[in-house]
Structure 1
Amino acid sequence: MKVVIIGGAGGIGSSAAFNLLSAQGTYEIVLVDTRPNMITSHTMDLENALGLATTADVVRGGTPEDAVDADVVVLSAAVPLRLNSSRSVFLADNARIVADCLRPLREAGDAFGGVVLLLTNPVDPLTTWTHRQDWLPRHRLIGYTLNDSLRLRTGIALALGVPAKDVDAWMLGEHGEGQVPLYSRVTVRGEPVELTTEQRHKAEEYADTWYTKHVALDSGRTSTWTTGLGTARLIEAMATGSDTVLPASVVLEGEYGVHGVSLTVPVRLGPKGVTHIERWDLPGHELDGMGKAAARVETAVSELPVDTTRHTS
């Protein structure tokens, strides 16, 4: 599987490349970025790590044209992180970057048959907006949002005093303020658990405030390790067709009562992207949360022009 990582010189892109070295499957990893010296530095380092890798055959630098025949294009390019309280502040600037980076694929037409895995934030509006350009079917356009569920699991683990690896919990909806925690599906070591109001509050406080607390550190870095590992796990699921159910943002066509907007839902992945969207029975308040999240994303997308050519130079 050929994986092209656009933004490969950055922390998340290089972390994804590193984590693919130990993922199941066989990969040709191509790093693309506007910083050639950083790409050379990463590839010089990673090509030595290939001696310890279990799967990857090649790690090299490349150009945007490499993406046209890729099986998976990971787009992690974005404007530099700065102090903020919401990912939405990056919408207009990152839309221009997404349009620029995806232009070669759009212009390639049917020559591009791969999957786009979008990491750039705010991911739900950008995934929705990209899909509305009408050149990429929804099953081949996936927004990365696994971190929300991981943070909920960590918050629940802290509230219950158990290891996070023993907790299974899901955060659906928007990657942001419109996230929807599924307390109806929490399990610990495979057994259903009903959280108390206090435990829910503690878990939500952790998940809801993680982003603002982390950005407030002004470290200049984002969730490098989590997103890199999570991205590798999604690509691994595509490469192996493992049928594992994972959270991802995809454009919905009636699932969960949402039409034409990308939100996080449980999906199964294969070599050509989303193979199935799980339709879980949600309680009324969780389903209402999905509707509210969709309205928030729709409002954000309405701020962007339909024609991406207005965003490019």
Structure 2
Amino acid sequence: MDVSVIGASGDCGREIVAQLVVLGVLDPTERLQLVGREAGQSSQVLYGLCSDLSDAYAEKAPIFDVALRPEDIVADVIVMTAGATVGGQVTSRSQLASANLPIFESYAKAIAQHGYGHEVVIIVTNPVELAVAVFSRHLGRHRVIGVGAYSDTLRFRREIATDLGVRRQLVQGFVVGEHGEGMVPLWSSVKVHGMTPEELREIRRRLQQGLSVRDFPDAVLREKQSVMAIIKTGDIAQAYRYVDGLSSDLRVVIKPFVTQLSGAKTIAATANVTVDLVHSLLQGKEMVVSGQVQLAGEFYDIQTPLGVPILVTPSGWSRVVTLQLWAEEAEMLQKSAETISRRLKEDLAQHG
């Protein structure tokens, strides 16, 4: 199977390409296509990147290919990383949507017109829900998966595991909803291998630190302001120490926020979860992950792109995995869906 990375010359795209090669995700007989633009620096950088990776990993590197036009993309799995990111002149989600919507449309149309017809597209670029909506409209919703909720879910499990002093693999639990501040951490789904239901109830109570599910959105805004005040003093180390004292669910949102403001960004973490998903698709594995998909009423009657637990197969996602949420979680999820739906309508009306 072949893989294309759209936006391969960007920070995240380049990291994904590097991890795919270093980890040997593709066989030497498979093709890794690096996609850029004819105009701009990427038309030169990508050829150099292919040469450098071939030199470094000659024994296990896949076949490299460069594509500089959307219609030249050919792969079984396509990773979408192209587009603007927050920073510089782009300071809001609305501006990000305005900048990236034409890019989403361009690539989605080209893949629909010139592709195999069975490609699975993994969305990394933000706003991830907008990208999922656009690509799903052109390619069919079961072939499009956003990694935002997958990344949030793995962070949630890691933070819980850190507090308990166990490996992340022993912790189950999902994050659903919007990627970012609108996420909904599902404490109702948290399980730890070897713990009884009574022990789990006590663990949840302790890890939440008295923060109710309904209070989570307000707490996120409050703690972001607190962290910003620390960062303005120039003491990033103190900001991280402050975040380490927060509850597990708050750290899922606040810690990447600090990392982004530190200048380091979250490139390695984003690339890692993306490569993990690509690897599973190439291996033909079925796995349950939380990902952004275009819903049609399968999860609490929601009809908008949203992060939910899904069963991923080599051909995309086959179904939504049903979870019994607490009433407060279901309420938060509905609010998140309503917010996303309103934003998408505004995005498409203003920039469509």
Contact 2:85 2:126 (C-alpha < 8 Å) held by counterparts:
no
Match of 1:140 in 2: 143
Query: Counterparts of 1:121-140 in structure 2 under 5 Å?
Result: 121-131=126-136, 134-140=137-143
What's the % identity of the aligned pairs?
27
Matched, 1:60 2:105: no
The alpha carbon displacement at 1:165 in A equals 4.5
SS of the residue 1:183 aligns to: strand
Hey, what's the Cα distance between the residues in 2 that align with 1:209 and 1:89? 22
Spell out the pairing of 1:1-313 with structure 2 (5 A cutoff).
Answer: 1-21=1-21, 22=23, 26=27, 27-34=30-37, 35-53=42-60, 57-63=62-68, 64-67=70-73, 69-82=74-87, 87=93, 89-108=95-114, 111-131=116-136, 134-145=137-148, 146-189=150-193, 191=195, 193-194=200-201, 195-201=203-209, 202-217=247-262, 219=263, 222-305=265-348
CA shift for structure 1 position 306: 5.9
Query: What's the TM-score, normalizing by structure 1?
Result: 0.85
Higher mean alpha-carbon deviation, 194-203 vs 205-214, is at 194-203
Larger RCO: 1 or 2 (CA < 8 Å, sep 6+): 1
Distance in 1 (alpha carbons) for counterparts of 2:299 and 2:124: 23
How far 1:266 sits from its partner (Å)?
1.6
The C-alpha deviation readout for 1:82-102, integer Å capped at 9, x for no partner, is 178865551221212222333
Cα pair 1:28 1:57 within 8 Å, conserved: yes
CA contact (8 A) 1:142 1:248 kept: yes
Task: Give the TM-score normalised by structure 2.
Answer: 0.77
CA distance in 1, matches of 2:26, 2:313: 12
1:133-170 CA distances to partner (integer Å, 9 max, x unpaired)? x3221101111122111221232233334444443322
Partner in structure 1 of residue 215 of structure 2: none
**Cα separation, 2, equivalents of 1:37 and 1:6:** 15
Comparing 14-23 with 142-151, greater Cα deviation is found at 14-23
How much does 1:119 deviate?
0.9
Q: How many residues align?
A: 301
Distance of aligned partners of 1:178 and 1:225 in 2 relative to their CA distance in 1, 3 Å threshold: same
- Secondary structure of 2:145's aligned partner: strand
Check conservation: 1:117, 1:144, Cα contact below 8 A: yes
Q: For the residues of structure 2 that align with 1:242 and 1:15, how far apart are their CA atoms?
A: 24
SS at match of 2:299: helix
Alignment RMSD, CA only? 2.6
Kept in 2, the 8 Å contact 1:87–1:176? The answer is no
> C-alpha deviations, 1:179-231, integer Å up to 9, x for none?
111112223345463334452241122112123212222x2x53211121211
Tell me if the contact between 1:4 and 1:66 (Cα under 8 Å) persists in the aligned partners: no
* Greater Rg over alpha carbons, structure: 2
Aligned equivalents of 2:91, 2:204: Cα separation in 1: 29
